[in-house]
Structure 1
Amino acid sequence: MQRTLRRALALFVAMLFALTVGTAAAQAATNFANAPQGAHYVKGYGEPVCTLTGLTVSCTGTQIAGVGNTNATVTLSVTSTFTGVCHNPGVNSKIVEPFTESETTTTSSVITSTKNGRLIVPEQSATGTSTEEFLADFSCPNPNWTPEVTGTAISWEYSLTFAGFTDPAILITG
């Protein structure tokens, strides 16, 4: 009875975590106070839009004018969070230890402004870690135990930060 209750509780926590993280809407914010004075989106362009397809996050490109000779760094980080349990082998396959682990894939590049003070930001994409990749590198505290992933969630953060500024001018999270 106690074993069943623990397993049900572990599965409930994993599903609740996946539901709250997995259904979060993307939040986007542009703050040109964190950019060279006069920075603005070029007509016909706006905040990048990021979408999640499978394990891959893709963000549209944009163009920003009025940046002078100021370069920017664009970064996209995709975090895969895995919840699960470790089983003690045997007839009862007891759950002995729950886990929550995260792995992050990050792409980053410096974008150089053009001679006319325009920043052309290309599309960005990054792919998270699959359950199979995670299990290939994960081991339970006891090598005799077997891991089982019971939930996964993907989150991301896109940022564009101008050289000389500490906070991003564009920040998108999902």
Structure 2
Amino acid sequence: MKTRLRPLIMALAALLLIFTTGLSAAQAASPHFKKNGSPVCTVSTTGASTSTTCRAVIAGLGNDDLLATVTTSGFAVYQCQNQGGNTAPGQNKVLTGPVTAPTEIDGDAIKNGNLTLVTEPAVLTARNTVTGAEAGCPNPNWTGVNPVLTVTSITLVIEQPVGTVIFSCSATNQSGLRGTVALTC
């Protein structure tokens, strides 16, 4: 009896091995950006606020849910205002952020492994006022007002399945990132 079962068990084990190996290969993904589809972000600034939205065209995705997270940081420069209402330029860059904006994409939205990703905006906002010391004003009786915000860092992290990073892309410029910004992955 043992001799008859042994070939049957071996055959079932071989079939199971072939099936699971084939299944893994069928589910494997090879994510990449399509031609001219590398991540590009748009930074829109209005005084004390910026909005950063990123776009990418991706192929080779699996059918799992996808998470894209945009993180931005920057600085604000303030005018110094005295108690009489007079203003003068501030001297310091006041760090702002980071802020993070996640965009969740359901696996059903990915068609044949392809996705045009447009993220939720990451909105970076400077405080309306800061202390005179923070703004670099002549003395503590002054207040930092009228902030002008500059984005210096953008990071886009794409995960699929959620928890597994497939792309980490960024751009940094201490002088500021404006308009359309190409990310490096």
Higher RCO (Cα < 8 Å, 6 or more apart): 1
> What is the deviation of 1:154?
0.8
2:76 to 59, 67, 82: 82
Runs of at least 5 residues in structure 2 that lack an aligned partner in the other structure: 1-27, 134-138, 173-185
1:51 maps onto 2:42 in alignment: yes
Q: Report the CA distance between 1:56 and its aligned residue.
A: 2.9
TM-score, normalised via structure 1 length:
0.52
Distance change (3 Å), C-alpha of 1:62 and 1:53? same
Letter in 2 for 1:60: R
Identity of aligned residues (%): 18
Q: What CA distance in whole angstroms lies between the structure 1 residues aligned with 2:92 and 2:55?
A: 38
Q: How does 1:95-110 map to 2 (within 5 A)?
A: 98=92, 100-110=94-104
Question: Of 30, 33, 53, which residue of structure 2 is paired with 1:38?
Answer: 30
Moved >6 Å (runs of 4+): 85-88
Provide structure 1 residue ranges, at least 5 long, that are not aligned to the other structure: 1-35
Larger Cα-atom Rg: 2
The answer to whether structure 1 residue 126 and structure 2 residue 122 are counterparts is yes
- For residue 171 of structure 1, what is the aligned residue in structure 2? 169
CA shift for structure 1 position 81: 0.9
Over residues 6-50 of structure 1, what are the superposed CA-to-partner deviations in whole Å (9 max), with x where a residue is unaligned?
xxxxxxxxxxxxxxxxxxxxxxxxxxxxxx6422345x5621212
Deviations, residues 105-126 of structure 1 (Å, cap 9, x unaligned): 3210222223766252431233
Q: Give the corresponding residue for 1:147.
A: 144
Compute the RMSD of aligned alpha carbons. Answer: 4.0
Q: Which amino acid aligns with 1:38?
A: S
Number of aligned positions between the proteins:
131
Q: Distance in 2 between matches of 1:116 and 1:82?
A: 42
Whole-angstrom distance in 2 between the partners of 1:47 and 1:107: 19
